[in-house]
Structure formats: C-alpha cells, structure tokens
Chain A
C-alpha cells in the first residue's frame, strides 16, 4: 500500500527555536493535512492544504504555524518559535480527493519535544 513518509521521526528543540517538519504525501494525492496528538490525548486537526493554499485551519494553527509545498513532492509544517506546549506527535496525512468517504493516509509522525 502507498505510504506517506515523514521526517524526522524525532525532533528535539529548545523553546523559542524554529522547527520544520517534513512530509512526502502519496504521489497522486492532492489534499494534504497536518494533525497533532499530544501524549495521552486525542488526535487534533491543524490545517488542510489544497492547490497551494490553506483550505481550512483550526484554532490551534495560529500565526506561529505555517505550511508550504516548496516543490512537487514535499509538504512542510513550520513552527516559528516553539513553545513547551507544542510538544506532541505531528502527523501528516493525504488523500486523493476531499470527499468525506475518501480514506486518509497518515504518515508515521514526527515526535516533537520542546525543552
């Protein structure tokens, strides 16, 4: 089965530093998403992206966050000035269409630890 790949698998950073989380969605997919999961909590929606722009974002996705598709394959999440509460597992996901029955394919996640 095709896979969404994420790098790095683990990222440790100091509070206030910028981090970039990278994702390579499945090649024929057009809709891209970032989710996060704080340890012991539910998976939460951050942002959806289509046609090189943000389609939708949650309250969590404030001005410290940004997303980009710098080339034809990568999809990145940048956190400009990390806070302790940004520590979480960040999942990238993609799917071919945005219909609700279309399966979301998740990457393995990047575990971000902010010290």
Chain B
C-alpha cells in the first residue's frame, strides 16, 4: 500500500535553532517527493521537489535530502524564525496523475521566541 509517514508529529524549538523533519514512504513507482509548508488555515505551498536522482536540494534555509534506496527524506531548517511555525507536509508522487499524489500527515512545527 502506498503510504507516507512523517515524524515527529509535532515539534517545538526555540527561535534560531535548527531542526530536522523526517519522511518515510512506500510509494511505488516513485516519481518525485515534495516538501510543502502549510500555514494554519492556508493551502500548502511547495518548498522543494526532489526526483529519484537527487540527493540534496536547498531553498534558502530549507534543505531537503532524499535517499531513494531507503525511501527516506528529511527537511532541515536552519536558524529557525517565528514565521517557520507551520505544518510541513511530505508529498510523494508516483508515475501517474493527481490521485497518486500521496500526502503525509505533516509535522506541526512551533517556533518559540
């Protein structure tokens, strides 16, 4: 069964600290993996996309990694800011249309001053 599992479910860190969010997936065949940021009451916004051949991709203070062999990805946030407080959702796509886009449950990140 195609699944995307994220950990931790929630995380609280102090402003300025770094953190790493984890994503494990069993989606097959695999096309790409995206990390989305979802602010409360808003739609998800894409942060990064990684395909099978990519190991690391950065977008400002966000760095995503992908290990296609172990089917794991991580999102590292450096020097966190209060505006980073949001849910971070790992989304994996197979070689098909929108119904095969599998969403994780997200990690709820709270940044404390």
A residues lining the B interface (CB < 8 Å): 4, 31, 33, 41-45, 48, 55-58, 89, 91, 93, 98, 100-101, 103-104, 106-109, 111
Contact = CB atoms under 8 A, between A and B. Distances in A.
- Count class of interface residues, chain B: 20 to 34
A26 to B, nearest CB: 13
Interface of B: 31-32, 34, 41-46, 49, 51, 89, 93-99, 101, 103-106
A42 B101 CA distance: 12
B105 A106 contact: no
Contact of A103 (B49, B89, B99, B104): B49
For A45, A91, A93, A111, the residue with the greatest tally of chain B CB atoms inside 10 Å of its CB is: A45
Contact of B97 (A43, A55, A93, A107): A55
Contacts, number: 60
B99 A100 contact: no
B29 to A, nearest CB: 10
23 contacts: A31-B98, A42-B106, A43-B44, A43-B89, A43-B103, A56-B97, A56-B99, A57-B99, A89-B41, A91-B43, A91-B44, A93-B43, A98-B97, A100-B31, A100-B95, A100-B96, A101-B31, A101-B93, A104-B98, A108-B41, A108-B42, A109-B41, A109-B43
